[in-house]
Amino acid sequence: MKVAFDAMCDMLMSVIDASLLEQLERDVTAISDAMLSFPVMIPGTRYYQGMKARKKLMKNLKAMIKRRRNRKESPEDFLQSMLDRDSYPPNEKLDDEEILDNLLTLIVAGQSTTASAIMWCVKFLDENKEVQNRLREEQLSIMRNKPKEALFSHEDLKNMSYGSKVVKETLRMSNVLLWYPRVALDDCTIEGFEIKKGWHVNVDATHIHYNPAIYKDPLSFNPSRFDEMQKPYSYIPFGSGPRTCLGINMAKLTMLVFISRLTSGYTWTVDDQDLSLEKKAHIPRLRSGCPITLKSLNSGNI
Ligand code: HEM
C-alpha cells in the first residue's frame, strides 16, 4: 500500500516528504474504509472517521494549491497541469473543488487497486518458481548493464518483456476489479439478449478472464500465454471503451518496477499461507496481506 501510495503522490502532486506522505496516507485510508460503511455521523463509526479524515486531507491539499498559486512551487505533475488551466477561458477552468475531487479520485482509484495487484503478483510468483526464476534472470541481465542504484530508463522498461507479461498475467488472474457497471442508454440486443433502456449491466471481467475457450488452462499462472495476441475484448482488467481506466500505464509501471526490484534483489518466502480473503475490502485481497520474509540475493535475511 505504501509503495503504491508514494508513487501516486509523487506522480500527482510531487509529494515526497515522508511525514507528509504518512499523514496523507492515514487520511486516505480512513476515507477508503468509510466508502462501504453505513452513512451515519456518529463519533467512532467508520463513516464518521472517514468524513473527519476527508476534512483534514482537503485542508492539506488546499494549502498545497495555495502555495502553487502563489508561485512558491510549480513542479511538473498532474496537479500543476490542472492549475495551468487557470489561464483558460472560464468554461475550461477547473475550480478548487474540481481539482480536489480529481486528486482524491485518482488517489483512491489508484492506491488499493495497484497495491492488491502487487500483492497477488508476489503470491503467484511464490507459487510458480519457474516463472519467478525466469523473471529474475531477465531482470538481473538488465541490472548487470546499469550502475548500482541507477533509475530505470525507457529502454530498460522496454527490455522487460517477460516482466510485462508477468504483470499482464497477474492482472488476468487477480481480477482486481471483478466487474464494472454500465447503464444502457437505449434498448438494444446483444448476442440475442434484449437489454432495455435504463438497465444496469455489469461487465463480468472474471468470467471472461477464466473462460477456457479464451484462455487455455485458465487457472494456471502462465505469462507466456501472452506471447500470442488476444482476441478483442478478451483481456479487460482495466475496462474498455471511453471509460477505460485512466491509470493503466501508471499501474502497470508501478507493478513492473516493484517486481523488478523484488526479484533482482531478493528471494522470499510467504509467511502466512491462509487463503481467506479480506471481507471488508471492496477489492479482492488476502486477509493476511501476504506477509513475506525477504532474503537478499547478496547477503542474509532482512
Ligand atoms: C492494477 C491497478 C488498476 C486496475 C486493475 C484498475 C482497473 C480499473 C477498471 C476496471 C476501471 C473501470 C473501467 C471501465 O468502466 O471500463 C477503472 C477506472 C478508473 N481507474 Fe483504474 N485501475 C487500476 C489503477 C488505477 C490507477 C493507478 C489510477 C490513477 C492514477 C486509476 C484511475 C482510474 C479512474 C480515474 C477510473 C475511472 C475512469 C472513468 O470512469 O472515466 N486506476 N480502473
* ipTM, interface predicted TM-score of the complex: 0.98
* Confidence (pLDDT) at 66: 92
Ligand 1 atom nearest to CA at 240: 16
Query: What is the per-residue pLDDT across 193-233, written as a single tens digit (0 to 9) for each?
Result: 999 999 999 999 999 999 999 999 999 999 999 999 989 99
Amino acid at 114: T
Compute, in angstroms, the gap from residue 241 CA to the centroid of ligand 1.
12
Residue 88 DSSP label: S
Specify the residue for cell string 492549475.
83
Q: Decide if 286 contacts 119 (C-beta within 8 A).
A: yes
- Check whether 152 has a pLDDT greater than 70: yes
Ligand 1: which of 118, 178, 238 to mutate, judged by most atoms within 8 Å of the beta carbon?
238
Choose one of 121, 245, 258 to mutate for the ligand 1 pocket test, by most ligand atoms within 8 angstroms of C-beta: 245
pLDDT tens across 20-69, in order? 999 999 999 999 989 888 999 999 999 999 999 999 999 999 999 999 98
Q: Give per-residue pLDDT as tens, 86-96.
A: 999 999 999 99
Question: Nearest-CA neighbor of 251 among 263, 261, 238?
Answer: 238
Query: pLDDT at position 275, please?
Result: 93
Cα dihedral value 200, 280, 210, 202, nearest 10: 0
Which residue ranges have their beta carbon within 6 Å of ligand 1? 105-106, 109-110, 113-114, 117, 171, 176-177, 180, 237-241, 243-247, 250-251
Q: Which one, of 143, 150, 78, 136, lies nearest residue 107 by Cα?
A: 78
